[in-house]
C-alpha cells in the first residue's frame, strides 16, 4: 500500500487510459498479475522467476510450501533454468518457506528469485506484482 510500490500499477493505469488502447490482453500482459486472488484445492506451480517485478503474497487460509533459490545461490545456473524449466534441479541450494494463515511474504523487485509453490490442502491467497520506486536502477541493470 506504500506509494513507493505503486509504480507498476500507475504505469499500467496510464497505459489503459490512453485512447486506442486494446481492450483485450496478450498472454504476457503483466496487468493481469498486479493483484490476484487464488482459491485452489491441492495445487502446485511450475518453476517461476519474477525478475523485473517483486512479488507479494498473503496466505488467507490453508498452507503453502514455497521452494526458493535466491539470486546469489543461482550463480551461473540461469541458462540451465531457461533450458530445463520444470526439470531443473536446484542441487541443495533451495530453501523451504512455509506460509500459514495470515503469513505474508515479499520477494523484492530487484532480486530475481527462482520459486515454485506447493499447496497440500485447499488454500486462499492474495498477492500481486510490484515495482519499488527505490529500486529502479537495480531493475534496469537486470534487464541490460
Residue 125 makes CB contacts below 8 A (sequence gap 6+) with 37, 38, 39, 57, 58, 59, 60, 62, 64
9: in domain = no
- C-alpha cell at position 61: 487460509
Q: How do residues 86-132 score in pLDDT, each as one tens digit?
A: 888 888 899 999 999 999 998 887 778 888 888 888 888 888 887 77
Structural domain total, the chain: 1
pTM summary value:
0.67
| Residue numbers of the domain that contains 72 | 34-143
Backbone angles phi, psi at 2, to 5 degrees: -65, 140
Contact predicate 113/69, CB 8 Å = yes
The CATH number linked to 70 is 2.60.120.650
20 within some domain: no
Looking at residue 89, what DSSP letter applies? -
**Dist CA 28 CA 50 (whole Å):** 13
Amino acid at each position: 500500500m506504500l506509494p513507493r510500490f505503486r509504480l507498476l500499477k500507475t504505469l499500467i493505469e496510464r497505459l489503459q487510459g490512453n485512447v486506442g488502447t486494446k481492450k483485450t490482453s496478450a498472454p504476457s500482459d503483466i496487468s493481469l498479475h498486479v493483484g490476484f486472488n487464488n482459491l485452489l484445492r491441492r495445487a502446485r506451480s511450475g518453476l517461476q522467476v519474477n525478475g523485473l517485478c517483486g512479488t507479494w503474497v498473503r496466505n488467507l487460509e490453508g498452507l503453502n510450501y514455497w521452494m526458493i533459490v535466491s539470486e546469489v545461490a543461482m550463480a551461473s545456473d540461469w541458462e540451465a533454468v531457461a533450458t530445463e524449466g520444470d526439470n531443473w534441479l536446484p542441487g541443495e541450494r533451495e530453501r523451504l518457506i512455509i506460509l500459514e494463515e495470515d503469513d505474508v511474504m515479499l520477494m523484492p523487485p530487484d532480486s530475481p528469485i527462482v520459486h515454485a509453490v506447493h499447496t497440500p490442502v485447499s488454500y486462499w491467497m492474495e498477492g500481486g506484482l510490484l515495482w519499488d520506486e527505490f529500486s529502479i536502477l537495480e531493475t534496469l541493470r537486470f534487464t541490460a
